[in-house]
Amino acid sequence: MTSANTTSDAYPFLRAASAGLRHHARAQAQAGPTDRLQADLLHAHLTALHQLLDQLAETTRPPHPAAGRHLATARTRLWQASDAVHDAFHLLPPSSGTDAHCRPEHLSTGPPVLTICQRHLASGHAIRRKTTPTDLHAPLHGHTTTCAQ
């Protein structure tokens, strides 16, 4: 017996992640300015979305080239967003002294600053294998889509 996914139970983790982001956005309105921890977590989320879009673009492109190109463009734009969040992370002050007193020997992945940088370097390496430098630095405008119903 095979079970087909219905709309109500398809992709539950994506729905949960989206709900979590909506909840955080509502809570953030009351919380004040962003700190390094929040920028790091947002960068991790963007990087995970980047990996998902990369896989979707690769699997969609052969049967549906135009849709695959749009997904590849979205992947590039998402990398640009994660690049900006990475830059913002380094411009934010250390979170209540935790970065200054970080003890790398007690962390399996190194200090938080290295974790976000390692993740960003890996993501940058992946995007550069599939994207030209011109595309990576292209402005967001100029890419239009028409809705077909």
d(CA 74, CA 82): 12
pLDDT confidence of residue 149:
46
* Tens of pLDDT, residue by residue, the chain (149 residues): 445 555 667 789 999 999 999 998 888 888 888 888 889 999 999 999 999 999 999 999 999 999 999 999 999 999 999 999 999 999 998 866 544 444 444 444 445 567 888 999 999 888 888 887 877 777 755 445 554 44
Give the number of residues written for the chain.
149
CA-wise closest residue to 24 among 44, 38, 40: 38
pLDDT confidence of residue 102:
46
